[in-house]
Amino acid sequence: MTTTTTELRHVGVLGLGTMGAGIAQVLAASGRDVTVLEQDGARIAAGRARLEASLDRDVARGRTTEAERAAVLERVWCTSSLVDLAPVDLVVESVSEDLAVKRAVLDRVAATVAPDVPIVTNTSALSVTELATGLPGPERFAGLHFFNPAPAMRTVEVVPGLRTTPELVERLVALVESLADKIAVVVKDRPGFLVNSLLLPYLNDVVQELDDDLATAEDIDVALQLGLGYRTGPLAMLDLIGLDVHLQATTALHAATADPRYAPPPLLRQMVADGRLGDKSGDGFRTHPSPAASPRPVSPHDRSPA
Amino acid sequence: MSTPTTGPDGLEGRDPRTVAVLGAGTMGSGIAVVMARALHRTILFDVDEANLQRGLDTVHGFFDKSVERGKLTAPLAAAAKASLVGTTDLADLAASDVVVEAVYEDLALKKELFGALDDLVPDTTLFHTNTSTLSVTGIASGSRLPERVVGTHYCNPAPLMKLVEVADGRHTASWARAATIDFLESLGKTTVVTKDRPGFIVNRFLIPWENSCIRALESGLGTKESIDAAVLGALGHPMGPFRLLDIVGMDIHQQVATRLYEQLRDPRFFPPPMVERMVAAGDLGRKTGRGFYDYDDTRLFGS
């Protein structure tokens, strides 16, 4: 699967969380060298473990080979030292979804890499244009939005900011198309870009209807999977995304648009306040603690069909 | 109701009922396939002789295709065909154990049919309505015995789609709902239980979803190709929203969306202006050869 490419051969990835690790994997699998910047050794270790686990799953599922797994790991190099990013051809920012945090990292990185090196953000909820302002050379800045899990999801949104050059957009589309099985979709810098602007209101709507007792969480998922052929039902999808992540994203879009469709439904807030974050906490809409533990209902009104 | 009998090929122990299907359109003939394939004594009813014949032909054609594709053995297909009859006379439905109503989305017509059947069938006969946009309660009010009326919403094409949404009306009895779920599961269907609310589950979420995708297209957020591709690649949907709308038909989308909007007065259900334009232009989708995309072939589902 190794693709040789002369474009953007060496990529710096900022952050080795879920998305950062997935993006590093995808880029390394295309034959590129990847240098990942993380805060400290502990975060690097956690991120590498994530990357290895993801590759192990791919090997187990026959999506990649042992040899390719080893090659990918070899091509991903982690550091906590900013100067190690100096030689990269492209920077992909994937730190936490917080404007101040992203700005601080981007400022330092922009001062380290060459002035013509493109810098892209994997933000899902912040404005690309807003992140670009204040950076030296905002025309080299754009959004490159991967979906979770990055190795599996084909779509990558390419998001030009107001000042992004058309040439950079073309290069990013070409980059995405050089990645195995990925498709580039050029979208506008609007809150949620394309996919999340459609997906988040739908997910909020489902949570509200669950709270309104339309059906059980399982029946809602089964209906949409069997009725519409969706691979994952919306409530299982929310558990996978993380209810806290969804709450943060939809709150940001609500703040940016004042569109009530993005307003977080009360049940979502309650679940997050209660620490029920979905798969990662072992308790969400469809994920439940082991039967040994006392089962908690999904909503106070939850009931099984007779 | 009846004693188990021995049928051909692996259908021993089935409990054949008499099932009447009202309306020989797409949904009615699809539901008739489901019933006849399970070797229930199936009576397809339509007021119009030509419609009825078309419906019967559709059912037979489906079984012939199933044999060609190796999905059904020839003896089973023959038995299924033999278990199906058609009629234009409501009186022929007197022995029905289950009536599945799949006529036009016209409340008065549906109520009238249930009212007329009250006088013909036993009080224990289940009345199922396949309405997608009307209220189960409203339809049930046409029967003297609204407790026997249950909403059973099949997906199109009914013979291939496993899902049936089950919704009680206000007066549906728990025995009727329980018997309905047992019956549907014996047909190999997967049931979900929902409320008598506009759109049940699937259309409740599908219609605002499709509308929001059309609005995204209208507002220049993407092209039909880019939105279809993005949704396909990011959300695990089997096809993009515009490919799906072309299969559903813009006229059908407009009709369902408008009916849901009329009941909910929620702007998310109202079809965006582009829908009306496309319907006016005759760009209904695959069936007219042009919708969001152009098609050389107007056949659906290979039928």
Residues A207 and A178 in one domain: no
Domain termination site, one of A161, A186, A211: A186
> Measuring CA to CA, how many Å separate B257 from each of A269, B136, B141?
30, 18, 24
**Contact present, A143 and A169 (Cβ < 8 Å):** no
Asked if residue A209 lies in contact with residue A194, where contact means CB atoms within 8 angstroms, the answer is no
| 8 Å CB contact between B271 and B211 | yes
Q: Pick from A187, A215, A234: which is nearest to B221 by CB? A: A187
Task: Extract the tokens encoding B31.
Answer: 């539901």
- Regarding whether A207 and A182 lie in a shared domain, the answer is no
Place of tokens 């004042």: A258
Q: How far is B186 from chain A (nearest CA, A)?
A: 17
Q: Does B234 touch chain A (CB under 8 A)?
A: yes
Q: Between residues 152 and 171 of chain A, which touch chain B (CB distance below 8 Å)?
A: 153-155, 157
Q: Are residues A33 and A63 in the same domain?
A: yes
Angle between helical axes of A195-211 and A266-273 (0-180°, round to 10): 90
Domain ranges of chain B: 18-194, 203-288
> Strand B163-168 relative to strand B149-154: parallel, antiparallel, unpaired?
antiparallel
Nearest residue of A to residue B222, measured between CA atoms? A187
pLDDT value for B298: 66
Q: What local confidence, expressed as pLDDT, does residue B2 receive?
A: 41
Percent of chain B with pLDDT over 70: 93
Which CATH code of 3.40.50.300, 3.40.50.970, 1.10.1040.10, 1.10.630.10 fits the domain covering B203-288?
1.10.1040.10
Q: How many domains does chain A have?
A: 2
- Tokens 């309660």 found at: B137
User: What would the pLDDT profile of B101-114 be if each residue is shown by its tens digit?
Assistant: 999 999 999 999 99
Structure tokens at B16: 């054949």
Note the CATH number of domain B18-194: 3.40.50.720
Question: Which residues in chain A are contacts of B216 at CB distance < 8 A?
Answer: 194, 197-198
Please list the pLDDT of chain A residue by residue as tens digits (306 residues).
Answer: 444 455 899 999 999 999 999 999 999 999 999 999 999 999 999 999 999 999 999 999 999 999 999 999 999 999 999 999 999 999 999 999 889 999 999 999 999 999 999 999 999 989 999 999 989 999 999 999 999 899 999 999 999 999 999 999 999 999 999 999 999 999 999 999 999 999 999 999 999 999 999 999 999 999 999 999 999 999 999 999 999 999 999 999 999 999 999 999 999 999 999 999 999 999 999 988 876 554 444 444 444 433
Cis peptide before A166 (omega within 30 of 0): no
Question: Nearest 5 degrees, angle CA B137-CA B138-CA B139?
Answer: 95
Tokens representing residue A253 in the block? 């879009």
Is A207 inside any structural domain?
Answer: yes
pLDDT digit string (tens) for B13-68?
468 999 999 999 999 999 999 999 999 999 999 999 999 999 999 999 999 999 99
Q: Which two tokens stand for residue A23?
A: 């993006």
In this prediction, residue B297 carries a pLDDT of: 76
The dihedral through the CA atoms of A80, A83, A85, A87 has a sign that is negative
For residue B156, give Cα distances in angstroms to B26, B29, B65: 8, 11, 17
Q: What is the pLDDT of residue A7?
A: 85
How far apart, in whole angstroms, are the C-alpha atoms of residue B141 and residue A139?
A: 66
What tens digit of pLDDT does each residue of B133-187 get? 999 999 999 999 999 999 999 999 999 999 999 999 999 999 999 999 999 999 9
- Residue B197: both structure tokens together: 């609310």
Among B190, B195, B238, beta carbon nearest to A214: B195
Tell me if chain A has a CB within 8 Å of the CB of B206: yes
Q: Identify whether A289 is part of a domain.
A: no
Residues 121-180 of B with CB under 8 A from A: 155, 161-163, 165, 174, 177-178
A75: domain CATH number? 3.40.50.720
CA distance A114 to A120: 14
Q: Which helix (H) or strand (E) holds A102?
A: helix A99-112
Write down the catalytic residue from A94, A196, A204, A281.
Answer: A196
